[in-house]
A and B are shown apart, each in its own frame.
Chain A
């Protein structure tokens, strides 16, 4: 049986390679984007992730997976990291790693939760919190390349938790065929039309696609959101085979 084609030879994808922090951008009070430069990169698909490995001076190592936030620009990679209070890795990456400091990365990894610009089908993206990161990679990969209609529904606790809010507002106005909607779970903006609360079936009716449009659905976020949204989509009549999910836990 054929293995799915993903960029980079196996040897290249599983090699740990040094990566230098070039830039850090604040996205929200608790999330930031790290721009890393590696020595060599064969490209990646929107939705893929990398492993990031940290080594202490005494040789202790630990690694975590992070979604790539954008198409590669040459040897530059972007990941967006949400700080997990008490976590071993994410607070170090968001707060302590200095410009010019080195980590190691390997990848790209994951060939299932990916969107290819050659696929013309409508796309529904549903994110919870920092689950928007791999979906943003798809939105950025689409710009100027694909006319596949995209709709993003982003569930966040409060307005200040909207990662990429400024860029998404601009893209929704300029990219053509991209709609962006927010669901606030704790605190909605004062002029918001919807009281705070978790995503419901009618949110997906209002901001998603009808099942007979046969969209590909990508759902990414904490497990309870992914379970709930995937269940709502199936109940609404979407084919389970067109629903791709990616869940994350803490740390």
Chain B
């Protein structure tokens, strides 16, 4: 397109092609959420997977943190246009949590303490692509960043990485979550700039 803004030169960043289109780098860790930060006591915390039929699988905090953990270093991309490179997390892979769950579902609706939800295809939670993370940068995850535990799905825009996560519903049909009902994309691939419905 030929339109340009007179006098604007901008500031290119040297990101080795790691920055998706429309994003800029930040060294901060900005926060985006829609309401107050829930305070979740660990003795009442639980993570529950509900398949479309069959019984719920539930882990207490002690049970979850006793599972094998993985350390992951990943780039994260927020739909509000900041990206942060090489963030360090520790958590339990969704492959571990879902290995004994019987389901024919293609979709997941993620639930959080505080009522937040987000949807994504189940396959995007499998094969080493997603974690329930409870450590950031070597420390326990702060409440404002989603602690005690958040979902971490770094290959999608970061609103899919639900803070204060409490569980997953496995569904045969896609069901929009909180931001998705408000016009944000059902999938949210930062490399295809899927910010809003229709992108």
Contacts and interface: CB of A to CB of B under 8 A. Distances in A.
Interface of A: 1-4, 6, 10-11, 13-14, 18, 54-57, 59-65, 88, 92, 96-98, 101-104, 109-113, 223, 227, 230-231, 233-234, 240-241, 243-245, 247-251
Contacts of B144: 223, 227
Contact of B10 (A11, A14, A88, A234): A88
Given A233-B36, A240-B114, A247 B30 contact: yes
A240 B134 CA distance: 24
Contacts of B114: 240
A250 B28 contact: yes
B7 interface: yes
Identify which of A56, A101, A103, A113 gathers the most chain B CB atoms within 10 Å of its CB: A56
A10 B196 CA distance: 9
A4 B36 contact: no
Which of B32, B35, B175 has its CB near the most chain A CB atoms (within 10 A)? B35
Contacts of A18: 3
B182 A249 contact: no
A241 B38 CA distance: 11
Nearest to B144: A227
A110 B181 CA distance: 11
Given A13-B183, A65-B81, A98-B7, 12 more contacts: A3-B183, A54-B10, A56-B8, A64-B81, A97-B5, A103-B5, A104-B3, A112-B178, A227-B144, A240-B38, A243-B35, A250-B28
Chain A at the B interface: mostly helix, strand, loop or mixed? mixed
A112 to B, nearest CB: 5
Interface of B: 1, 3-12, 22, 24, 26, 28, 30-38, 80-82, 114-115, 144, 175-176, 178-179, 181-183, 196-199
Contacts of A62: 10-11, 22, 24
A234 B180 CA distance: 26
B172 to A, nearest CB: 15
Contacts of B32: 247
Contacts of A96: 7-8
A228 B15 CA distance: 34
